[in-house]
């Protein structure tokens, strides 16, 4: 696919790719619960390929940002060959 994307908030100082646990704890402590929100919107499935699921997650992230009335979310991307 080339790159992976995730969603974060503008105030979260942690890298959601490389510091996920710290990122997640900050997010939950602030009451954003971004992962839960994304999980409700993204229509992923074991029946889909990894690329299809990645595309669906990106679509859901774009939807979250589109309806973000508090303007707290942003999409971050990384080359998927560097994610491990």
Q: For residue 56, give the nearest of 39, 71, 36 by alpha carbon.
A: 39
Q: What is the pLDDT of residue 79?
A: 84
The residue ranges of the chain whose pLDDT is under 50 are 1, 84
Q: What is the pLDDT of residue 46?
A: 95
CA distance 79 to 36: 24
Q: What is the pLDDT of residue 34?
A: 98
């Amino acid at each position: 696919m080339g790159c992976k994307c995730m969603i974060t908030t503008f105030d979260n100082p942690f890298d959601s790719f490389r510091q996920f646990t710290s990122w997640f704890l900050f997010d939950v402590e602030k009451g954003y619960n971004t992962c839960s929100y994304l999980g409700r919107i993204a229509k992923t499935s074991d029946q889909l390929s990894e690329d299809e699921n990645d595309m669906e997650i990106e679509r859901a992230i774009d939807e979250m940002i589109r309806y973000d009335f508090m303007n707290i979310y942003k999409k971050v991307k990384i080359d998927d060959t560097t994610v491990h």
